[in-house]
Amino acid sequence: MTPAARFQASIEILDEILRDVPVEKALTGWARRSRFAGSKDRAAVRDHVFGALRCKRSFAALGGAETGRGLMLGALRAAGSDPSDLFTGVGHAPSPVGEDETGRAFLSEAEQYDIPDWLWPVFKASLQDQAINVAQALQTRAPVHLRVNLIKSDSDRAIAALAADGITARAHDACDTALEVLDGARKVAQSQAFLTGLVELQDAASQAIVADLNLQPGQRVLDYCAGGGGKSLAIAAHVGVEVFAHDVNPARMRDLPDRAERAGAQVTILTPDAVRSQAPFDVVLVDAPCSGSGSWRRAPAGKWALTPERLKELSALQLSILEETSGFVPPDGTLAYATCSMLNPENQEVVENFLGSHSGWNMSYQKLWLAAHGTDGFFTAHLTR
């Protein structure tokens, strides 16, 4: 495919997404219809689509319309390119740029930095003087991070193993197990280092949340909202720690047994009834359902799907999960709350509401990682009594 044909394909896919077709479904459907497209073509089109979704408001303004065509015009103008070089109408290229497709100036900071209007005040109140830096970071592609599996390797050996497969990685300062991939990210899933369990794909801040638990041999640890089990596996890499995983939707954990086997880790999956019978746990990690604002670079559709009503629902759900799981922690244990969000209503305010209605509990530690500082955005707080 020519570069122009890739833009035309991206336009068609974006039009589907703007009609509420899920992102991955739209991309997969195009790939199945376009057997002529090679792996580099598919990767380029995917990059165009995700770039446009991260910057939907600003690209629409620059491109003159919130359509697939408008977003691709905006993408070229944002990059300082002349769209007429690619929009020629020749072959499979998009048709030439019309006189009415000139774009316009941004009407607000929220539009310029690609945040919904209703959310911008909440975003600024949450992030203060870092709000614009973080919003700009969310307009860009996320870095690729790996977790070194300490059961099987260490950072130096993992970096060497990755290099043997043409992948360049370096240590990341978020925690001792974190690596950042500098080159060859698309090769990771097929590398021997990954297939043999030396490394796992996991954001550095997500790893740091586990590292900050300061786990000790003999402890029983529950990953209550385990999802795919990334944090469960990170916990299981600590020698002598007994790990339990639970999720309200067990299907999310369906790959966890295979991943644990590959990693050489032991993780016990619990049903809700089994959680109660196995309690108490020395540490309960609650990585609660959230807006995902810290990972909007990876899943940009979530930024535009969030509503004020949904944010309130999430805050209430997060508080209810904290209240439920507090009963699984002994008096000398730790309830660790976490979200992949950078918004106060899901983070500090939830913790404050919990502490305000549960006497005897205190916050012994909290930290906020920002998407502008080399990781996804994450929050954690350790609650003790």
Residue 260 near residue 269, CB atoms below 8 Å: no
Query: What distance in Å separates the CA atoms of residue 302 and residue 296, rounded to the nearest whole number?
Result: 7
Per-residue pLDDT of the chain (385 residues; tens, 9 = 90+): 999 999 999 999 999 999 999 999 999 999 999 989 999 999 999 999 999 999 999 999 999 999 999 999 999 999 999 999 999 999 999 999 999 999 999 999 999 999 999 999 999 999 999 999 999 999 999 999 999 999 999 999 999 999 999 999 999 999 999 999 999 999 999 999 999 999 999 999 999 999 999 999 999 999 999 999 999 999 999 999 999 999 999 999 999 999 999 999 999 999 988 999 999 999 999 999 999 999 999 999 999 999 999 999 999 999 999 999 999 999 999 999 999 999 999 999 999 999 999 999 999 999 999 999 999 999 999 999 9
pLDDT at 350: 98
Q: Domain map of the chain by residue range?
A: 3-107, 145-201, 205-384
175, 225, 290, 340: the catalytic one is: 340
| Dihedral sign (CA 264, 266, 267, 273) | positive
Q: Which CATH class is domain 145-201?
A: alpha beta
**Cα 359 to Cα 244: distance, rounded to the nearest angstrom:** 28
Query: pTM to 2 decimals?
Result: 0.94
Residue 167: phi and psi, rounded to 5, are -115, 125
CATH superfamily of 205-384: Vaccinia Virus protein VP39 (3.40.50.150)
Q: Among this protein's residues, is 340 annotated catalytic?
A: yes
Residue 221 has a CB neighbour count (10 Å cut-off) of 25
Do 145-201 and 205-384 agree at the fold level?
no
pLDDT at 144: 97
pLDDT of residue 264: 96
